[in-house]
């Protein structure tokens, strides 16, 4: 095993240096890029992951690799395999101010084909069906998603650079998913949502739920901000998520601070109700990965109650989410780390990309508005790919 922590790494340098096969995680706190795999976790499902991760990190300690970092992408389904590994080489430094570098030699991406699953009309029907199920008492909330597959050749370095520049307070990531003989595949995205950060005794989670598309007009954007804060529907959806996350964190924390009211977090394409929850960890032997897995999946990506919402998703959504709405991030030997919710993302291959977006459905949800919300969320990745034009205003 070889583990390196070398020259300072800014988001600009990390994205410009990125090559297919690398793994990257940029947060407001740090920039981390890795190359190669020294050891990988083979876990049949998410339930087996904590024990496998502890064993791998113990192996690194026994070899004196004290700066080892474990990186990973964990799926939505708890019965699917995760991608978790210790890299051969790593560059990891506190985030510095990124230079707004650009590669003007790159041409705009050419899109050669588009397919949607489900179609916009089918998605609206799914939302209507979910609202009916809520009215019948099956669950209080369910998150319904769409996938969009495009045929195109993408410059990943440029896409990541754009994502990191546009959302510096978010979590930009690229995780190598390649399997031997099948070409490269990379999970790429820029999530606004922190599932779990641990730094010493301090634990932070920042759940988001309740959203509106952002407007380019400042006055209209202010009105939407105020409307979101005043929306009983969105406040109810947000409270379901915050209460669930707080309940899951309490067994791990001596003290837990949960603000009484949410604020609004703005991304380039969306406005989200946001609550930052902070806690004081009881046991430093509990890693950030273990706590993150105890939170996953939150009602922000699945629903409430979890089991009935998940069952509805599996029966009606119509596609395998894979790593979408899972978690992505890193953990070190001390247990510190950062894990973001895997949203605003795409799986990118040699000549294709599959993008994902979802919306929380509660009582009173309007199918056309939920469709518009998922369209706005898809534009995060499409804009970075220079393919925003492939969707109409309500596609």
Domain count, the chain: 1
Residue 194 lies in a domain: yes
Question: Does the pLDDT value for residue 44 go beyond 60?
Answer: yes
Of 265, 275, 270, nearest to 244 by C-alpha is 275
Residue 137 lies in a domain: yes
* pLDDT 10s digits, 170-180: 999 999 987 65
- Provide the pLDDT for residue 5: 45
Average of per-residue pLDDT values in the chain: 89
Question: Does the pLDDT value for residue 317 go beyond 90?
Answer: yes
- Cβ distance 279 to 295 under 8 Å? no
Of 229, 234, 278, 274, nearest to 258 by C-alpha is 278
- Provide the pLDDT for residue 371: 96
Mean pLDDT in residue range 103-118: 71
Residue 71 lies in a domain: yes
Mean pLDDT in residue range 121-144: 98
Residue 104 lies in a domain: no
* pLDDT 10s digits, 334-359: 999 999 999 999 999 988 999 999 99
Confidence of residue 45 (pLDDT cuts 50, 70, 90): confident
Residue 15 lies in a domain: yes
Q: Which residues are catalytic?
A: 141, 193
Mean pLDDT in residue range 3-20: 60
Residue 164 lies in a domain: yes
CA distance 325 to 208: 13
CA distance 248 to 244: 6
Residue 131 lies in a domain: yes
Residue 327 lies in a domain: yes
Domain range for 87 is: 11-95+114-386
Indicate which CATH number applies to the domain containing 341. Answer: 3.60.120.10
Residues forming a β-bridge with 346: 188, 355
* pLDDT 10s digits, 221-239: 999 999 999 999 999 999 9
């Amino acid at each position: 095993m070889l583990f390196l922590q070398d020259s300072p790494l800014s988001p600009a340098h990390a994205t410009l240096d990125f090559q297919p096969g690398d793994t990257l995680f940029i947060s407001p706190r740090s920039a981390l890029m890795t190359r190669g795999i020294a050891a990988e976790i083979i876990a049949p499902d998410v339930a087996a992951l904590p024990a496998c991760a502890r064993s791998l990190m113990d192996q690194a300690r026994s070899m004196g690799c004290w700066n080892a970092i474990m990186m990973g992408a964990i799926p939505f389904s708890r019965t699917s395999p995760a991608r978790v590994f210790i890299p051969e080489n790593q560059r990891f430094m506190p985030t510095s101010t990124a230079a707004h570098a650009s590669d003007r030699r790159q041409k705009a991406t050419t899109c050669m084909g588009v397919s949607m699953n489900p179609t916009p009309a089918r998605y609206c029907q799914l939302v209507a069906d979910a609202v009916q199920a809520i009215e019948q008492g099956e669950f209080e909330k369910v998150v319904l998603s769409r996938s969009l597959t495009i045929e195109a050749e993408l410059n990943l370095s440029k896409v990541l650079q754009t994502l990191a520049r546009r959302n510096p307070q978010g979590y930009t990531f690229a995780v190598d998913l390649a399997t031997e003989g099948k070409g490269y595949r990379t999970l790429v995205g820029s999530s606004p949502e922190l599932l779990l950060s641990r730094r010493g005794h301090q634990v932070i989670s920042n759940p988001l739920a309740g959203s509106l598309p952002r407007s380019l007009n400042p006055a209209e954007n202010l009105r939407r901000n105020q409307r979101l804060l005043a929306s009983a529907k969105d406040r109810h959806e947000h409270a379901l998520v915050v209460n669930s996350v707080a309940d899951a964190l309490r067994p791990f924390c001596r003290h837990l601070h949960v603000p009484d009211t949410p604020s609004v977090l703005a991304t380039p394409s969306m406005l989200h109700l946001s609550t930052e929850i902070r806690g004081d960890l009881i046991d430093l032997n509990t890693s950030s990965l273990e706590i993150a897995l105890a939170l996953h999946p939150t009602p922000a990506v699945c629903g409430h109650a979890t089991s009935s919402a998940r069952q509805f998703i599996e029966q009606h959504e119509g596609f395998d989410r894979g790593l979408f709405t899972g978690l992505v991030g890193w953990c070190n030997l001390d247990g510190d780390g950062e894990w973001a919710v895997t949203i605003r993302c795409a799986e990118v291959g040699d000549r294709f990309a599959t993008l994902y977006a979802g919306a929380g459905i509660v009582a009173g949800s309007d199918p056309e508005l939920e469709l518009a919300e998922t369209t706005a969320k898809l534009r995060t990745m499409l804009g970075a790919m220079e393919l925003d034009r492939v969707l109409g205003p309500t596609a």
